[in-house]
Amino acid sequence: MFSYVEKQANGDILNVTTSVEHPDCPEVSGVVRAQAGVAGQWLQNHPTQEGKTLVTQIADIDPMGSLPKAIVKMVTETVLPGRYILFNDKILTFVYDM
């Protein structure tokens, strides 16, 4: 994955990600990797709730195989919300260090 993060003049934060090939992470026999055409987040100050952040996410991701419904449910209801908490902590640290 390649990611680009930028803080806009108005304080918005943009994160854009895409899949890339890299020699330090070669393909592994028997492992199917998802491909992200483009994915990303747009973080804005919430327009009506002071101190809150509005997050808009887009994702054009091909899992490159079939996924059981139970796995999709687990990822969308458990894993992704937890990742947003981690993402929020990391992105804010990164942006304030920019």
Provide the whole-model pTM: 0.61
Domain count, the chain: 1
d(CA 57, CA 3): 14
Cβ neighbours, 10 Å, residue 13: 19
pLDDT tens readout for residues 37-76: 888 889 888 888 888 888 888 888 888 877 888 887 777 6
Per cent of the chain over pLDDT 90 is 8
Sheet of strand 13-18, all strands in order from the earlier edge strand to the far edge: 2-7, 13-18, 35-45, 53-62
Q: With left for phi above 0 and alpha for psi between -120 and 50, is residue 75 left, alpha or beta?
A: alpha
Q: What pLDDT was estimated at residue 80?
A: 67
29 Ramachandran zone, left/alpha/beta (phi>0; psi -120 to 50): beta
> 52 is in which domain, residue-wise?
2-97
CATH number of the domain at 51, please.
3.30.530.20
Evaluate if residue 94 carries a pLDDT over 60. no
